[in-house]
Structure 1
Amino acid sequence: MSTDEQQRAALDQDDIDSPRGRLLAGIADLVDTFTAETSEVQQKAAEERAALLHAVAAEYGPERTADEITLAEAGRIRRAYKLVEEATPRLIVEAHEREGKSATEIATTLGCSPSYASRVLREHRATAGE
């Protein structure tokens, strides 16, 4: 139950029939609508980013060389790179916690150094312990 729903439930029938009660109920409905629409927008944006990453990964295998890349392709790759860089710490923590992978195993999969993966895990433990 959302906070708005809790507040609505706390209003007794007399409050709902009052101008103040109707105003509060209307505001709560608006907040619920805004929250739902915001979640939909965020979900759509996440799906678009995922589609970009998959498209880039499918097109640019290790056999491609830098000489073959066009300006438009470079832009797509850079955008995808930024998304991956932003997600990398979360992915490291998830691989360690959910799959039990070591920092070395994670680093091998991601193509980063084991010390970077270890640092991310250390920082996560320090933050989680606060």
Structure 2
Amino acid sequence: MSDQQQPHHDEQGSTGHYERADASKFPTSELGQRAAAEGWTGPGLAKAVRDHNRRMLARTGVDADRARTDVLRDKILTLFAEHEEATEVRRAGQEAAYGLRELADRYAKAETRQERDDLAEQAGGSLTLPEAGLIRRVAKALEMALPGVIVDAHVDGMSAPSIARELACSDRHAYQVIKDYPWGAQWILYRATGDDEWEEVAAELVETTETAADLANRIIGQRLTDDLARTGARVCVWRAGDGNDPDEARGECEIEASTQTD
């Protein structure tokens, strides 16, 4: 070997070290593979490198088409944006509902009509946008459901003027709704057979504009016999479809057993 061919001591050779990539860390889902493909074939790489990577990706079956990955990315970003918007809407709705429940509690605890009017006026000027939006939407929905609200309160024994005061409507309107919307009632007549034990005697489904308690009193008056008066009787009334648990009756009338003897 000549002097020119012999390496000088001040020249250090370089050694390349190759480390095999961990295949277990490669993306396995289609989404992950496409995201990786976009990075491996992006414009930041040299053309030769991009072409090489594209050929490798093609052999592995990963679609590296730029347009398709752009579409996929845009769809994902759109879904994220929609999710964030929906989450914000739900959060605002929950906060508004909580604020209205608190307001309703204070309204229910007010002892006079004037206190309720003052509270409503005060709240009307301090509502947040979500709270105001919720109230307007509830008010629109209530217009359709209002007859049912009035009738249900009447079933429980509230008078038309009392209902009108609660809803800030005229007595005439409350009376008219009660008249125009009869409700389906189920009543059962019982005979007493022992201490807090009852036997069913008669039952019927009817439509009425009475309160549940008034209907129960009327049925007792019509159906009471000497035998029932001697043993004791009662009538329970429910709204049709609400079941027939005596403890859940909307109206009731009871006659205690007669103690008179001949």
TM-score norm. by structure 1 comes to 0.52
Q: Which consecutive residues of structure 1, in runs of 5 or more, have no partner in the other structure? A: 1-12, 96-102, 119-130
Give the deviation of 1:59 after TM superposition: 1.3
Q: Deviations over 1:1-48 (max 9, x none)?
A: xxxxxxxxxxxx989421101100000000010111111000000001
Q: Deviations over 1:67-106 (max 9, x none)?
A: 9x58xx81xx21256632332222444x4xxxxxxx5333
Q: Quote the residue 1:106 is aligned against.
A: 149
Does the 8 A contact of 1:16 with 1:25 survive in 2? no
Whether 1:30 and 2:77 are equivalent positions in the alignment is: yes
Q: Could you say if the C-alpha distance between residues 88 and 16 of structure 1 is closer, same or farther in structure 2, counting changes exceeding 3 Å?
A: farther
Q: Could you say if the C-alpha distance between residues 44 and 34 of structure 1 is closer, same or farther in structure 2, counting changes exceeding 3 Å?
A: same
Richer in helix (by share) = 1
Q: Quote the residue 1:18 is aligned against.
A: 65
Query: What percentage of residue pairs aligned between the two structures are identical?
Result: 16
Richer in strand (by share) = 2
Structure 1 residues 1-130: aligned runs within 5 Å = 16-61=63-108, 62-64=110-112, 65-66=114-115, 74=122, 77-78=123-124, 79=127, 83-93=134-144, 95=145, 104-107=147-150, 111=167, 112=169
Bigger CA radius of gyration: 2
Opposite residue 103 of structure 2, the aligned amino acid is V
Bigger RCO of structures 1 and 2 (CA < 8 A, at least 6 apart)? 1
Distance 1:81 1:106 in 2: 22
TM-score norm. by structure 2 comes to 0.28
Q: Which moved more, 1:54-63 or 1:42-51?
A: 54-63
Q: Quote the residue 1:127 is aligned against.
A: none
Distance 2:76 2:133 in 1: 37
Distance 2:98 2:89 in 1: 14
Please list every run of at least 4 consecutive aligned residues from structure 1 whose deviation after the TM superposition is greater than 4 angstroms. Answer: 13-16, 107-110, 112-115
Distance 2:73 2:103 in 1: 45
Q: Could you say if the C-alpha distance between residues 87 and 104 of structure 1 is closer, same or farther in structure 2, counting changes exceeding 3 Å?
A: closer
Distance 1:15 1:90 in 2: 52
